[in-house]
A = this chain, B = another copy of it.
Amino acid sequence: MSDATEKTEDDVALAEESATPTYGLSDEIVQEIQDAVERDDALFIHEKLEDWHSADVADLIEQLKPKLRLPFLKIMEGRLEPDVYSALDENVRDHLVDEMEPAEIAAFLNELELDDAVDFLENFEEEEQREVLNEIPPDDRAALQEGLSYGEDSAGRLMQRNLIAVPEYWNIGQTIDYMRDTEDLPDEFYEIFVVDPRHHPIGTVPLNRAMRSKRDVLVRDIMDTEQKLIPVDMDQEDVAYLFQQYRLASAAVVNDDGALIGVITVDDIVDVISEEAEEDILRLGGVSEDDLFGSVYSTTRARFLWLFVNLLTAIAASVAISFFDATMEAIIALAVLMPIVASMGGNAGTQTLTVAVRALATKELTAANVLRILRKEAMVAFLNGCVFAVLIGGIAWAWFADPEIGAIIALAMIVNILVAGIAGMVVPVTLDKMNIDPAIASSVFVTTVTDIVGFVAFLGLATLVLI
C-alpha cells in the first residue's frame, strides 16, 4: 500500500502518470487548455505544460482550434523548445511559421540537430530560406547549405555530421580521452568509427565493447570490420531497407570518394519507415499526401486528380455497358445483376495488388519468383472464382427463376475473378519495372480492367446466349 504513495513521489514519470493516460493527449486536457487560451490564462498554461515533452506540446498545438494556435504561441513565447516545431504536422507548422521573423526562425534552427534543421528549412520558399540563412553564423550556415544540397529523401538529409572517428592505431584510453575533450558531440551515439588516413571507414567499435575494454587495448583489435556503408545519395527508402534487413543500430555515410562524412542512427530510420509506409497506405487509397490538417482548398485540389482519373475509367466502363443496351432492355435482370460481377472482380483484384505492392516494397517479390507467385495467384483466383460462381449462380437462378441467367453470371464471375487475380499481380510488377511507384497507379488500372471485363463478360455472354 505504502508503495503506491511512494511511487508518486519518485521523480520518474511512469507512463501512466505523465501528462496523458497511457500515451497521447486526453481530450479533457486539450479542452482545459483551449479554455485557458480563450480566457488568456497564461499562468494556468505555463504550470500545466511545465514538464511536457516537446512532442506532446506539438500534438497539443495540432489539436487546438486553428484560431487559438497563435494566441497559444504568444502565451508560450520563450518557453517552447525548438523541437516542438520539428514535431509539428507540416500543414500546421507552415501556417504558424508564416507569422515568425527570419531572426526568430534562425534562433530556433540553431538549437535543432542538423538533420532536423535541414528538414525544417527545406519547407521554406527559396527567398525565405536565404533570409533565414543570413541570420545564422557562417559555420552552421555552411553545414545547413550542404545539408540542403543533398537530394530530398537522400541519406545526406538523414545523416548527422557529428561523430567520433579515430585512427586504428589508437587505444581505448586515447579514444576515451578524446571523447572527454570533444565538446560538440551528438546527444546519442552508439559506436565509434575507425578510419584510415584518407578518412575511409575501416571498422566500428560499439560503445559498450569500448567501455568494457582496458585502456591499453587497440581499437583495431576489437573493431568490427563488417559494416554496411551508405552512399550519401542513397534514397532513404533503401537506407531503411538496409537498417531493417541487417538490424543496424547506426551506419556510416560516405561520399563519392568513400570518405566518412556522417552517420545515420536507427532512431532516424523509425521515422522513415513510418513515412514510407504512410505513403504507401495513402497512395493505395488514392490520396497523394497526409492532408488531415490541410486547408479545405488544398485538400479538395489534391483529391481532385485521383477522382478525375476515376471518372474517366468509370465512363469507359459505361461506354462498354452501352454496347449492350439492347440486351439489357430485353432482360432488365441483367442491369440489376451486373454490378455484382464488377464489384467482386474489383475486390479480388485489390486483394492481390495489395499483397503485390507490399511484397515489392519489402523486396520479397522479385524476378526470380514472380512467375511462380503469378501462377499461385491465378490458382487462388480460379478457386475462389469457382466458389463464388456457384454461390451467385444459385442466388441469381433463384431470384429471377432463370437457370440461364444463373449460368451466365457464374461463368462471368469465374472469368472476372481470374482476370482480377492476374491483373492484380501483373499491373504492379509492370509498373515497378517501369520505375513507377506501384502503390500510386496499380489500383486504378486493375479496377478499370475488372470493371470492363466484368460488364463485358456478363453482358456479352448474355447477348450470345439469351438474345
Given A13-B228, A274-B362; 7 other pairs, CB 8 A cutoff: A15-B229, A89-B364, A180-B212, A290-B359, A303-B384, A311-B340, A328-B332
Q: Is A380's CB under 8 angstroms from B296's CB? A: yes
A134 located at the interface, meaning its Cβ lies under 8 Å from any Cβ of chain B in the complex: no
Q: Say whether, besides A14-B229, A226-B13, A307-B347, A354 and B282 are in contact (CB < 8 Å).
A: yes
Segment of A18-26, A70-78, A118-126 engaged in the interface with chain B: A18-26
- Nearest Cβ in chain B — how far from A376, in angstroms? 6
| A303-349 CB contacts (< 8 Å) to partner B | 303-304, 306-308, 310-311, 313-315, 317-318, 321-322, 325, 328-329, 332-333, 335-340, 342-344, 347-348
Contacts of A203 in B (CB 8 A): 12
Contacts of A281 in B (CB 8 A): 277, 280-281, 284, 354, 357-358
Q: Is A306's CB under 8 angstroms from B347's CB? A: yes
Contacts of A231 in B (CB 8 A): 15-16
A221 located at the interface, meaning its Cβ lies under 8 Å from any Cβ of chain B in the complex: no
A392 located at the interface, meaning its Cβ lies under 8 Å from any Cβ of chain B in the complex: yes
Contacts of A238 in B (CB 8 A): 22-23
Q: How many copies does the complex hold?
A: 2
- Nearest Cβ in chain B — how far from A328, in angstroms? 5
Q: Is B270's CB under 8 angstroms from A225's CB? A: no
Name, among A267, A282, A335, A357, the residue most crowded by chain B CB atoms within 10 Å (CB to CB): A335
Contacts of A65 in B (CB 8 A): 372
1/0 contact trace for A1-33 toward B, CB 8 Å?
Answer: 001000100111111101000111101001100
Q: Is B15's CB under 8 angstroms from A351's CB? A: no
1/0 contact trace for A66-98 toward B, CB 8 Å?
Answer: 000000000000000000000001000000000
Contacts of A206 in B (CB 8 A): 187-188
User: Interface size on A (CB < 8 Å)?
Assistant: 149
Q: Is B369's CB under 8 angstroms from A63's CB? A: yes
Q: Is B307's CB under 8 angstroms from A258's CB? A: no
A340–B351 CA distance with the chains assembled, in angstroms:
22
Interface secondary structure of A, over-half rule: helix
A286 located at the interface, meaning its Cβ lies under 8 Å from any Cβ of chain B in the complex: yes
- Nearest Cβ in chain B — how far from A392, in angstroms? 7
A179–B436 CA distance with the chains assembled, in angstroms:
51
A244 located at the interface, meaning its Cβ lies under 8 Å from any Cβ of chain B in the complex: yes
Q: Find A296's partner among B271, B344, B383 (CB 8 Å cutoff).
A: B383
A103 located at the interface, meaning its Cβ lies under 8 Å from any Cβ of chain B in the complex: no
A274–B24 CA distance with the chains assembled, in angstroms:
21
| A200-219 CB contacts (< 8 Å) to partner B | 200-203, 206-208, 210-213
For A172, the closest partner residue in chain B by CB is B211
Segment of A42-50, A137-145, A245-253 engaged in the interface with chain B: A245-253
1/0 contact trace for A120-161 toward B, CB 8 Å?
Answer: 000000000000000000000000000000000000000000
- Nearest Cβ in chain B — how far from A346, in angstroms? 9
Q: Say whether, besides A246-B53, A249-B188, A339-B321, A201 and B284 are in contact (CB < 8 Å).
A: no
Q: Is A325's CB under 8 angstroms from B318's CB? A: no
Q: Say whether, besides A25-B368, A329-B332, A13 and B227 are in contact (CB < 8 Å).
A: yes
Contacts of A107 in B (CB 8 A): none
A273 located at the interface, meaning its Cβ lies under 8 Å from any Cβ of chain B in the complex: yes
Q: Is B189's CB under 8 angstroms from A208's CB? A: yes
Q: Is A348's CB under 8 angstroms from B303's CB? A: yes
* 9 nearest A-B pairs in the assembled complex, by CB-CB distance: A285-B354, A277-B277, A335-B335, A30-B368, A27-B367, A314-B343, A314-B340, A207-B207, A24-B363
A404 located at the interface, meaning its Cβ lies under 8 Å from any Cβ of chain B in the complex: no
A463 located at the interface, meaning its Cβ lies under 8 Å from any Cβ of chain B in the complex: no
Sample (29) of A-B pairs whose CB atoms are under 8 Å apart: A11-B225, A15-B231, A23-B245, A23-B363, A24-B366, A30-B368, A53-B245, A53-B246, A63-B368, A65-B372, A89-B364, A176-B211, A179-B208, A188-B249, A247-B270, A249-B267, A266-B270, A270-B270, A277-B281, A290-B359, A292-B355, A292-B365, A300-B379, A300-B380, A307-B344, A315-B340, A325-B332, A332-B335, A338-B339
A461 located at the interface, meaning its Cβ lies under 8 Å from any Cβ of chain B in the complex: no
A373 located at the interface, meaning its Cβ lies under 8 Å from any Cβ of chain B in the complex: yes
Q: Is B307's CB under 8 angstroms from A388's CB? A: yes
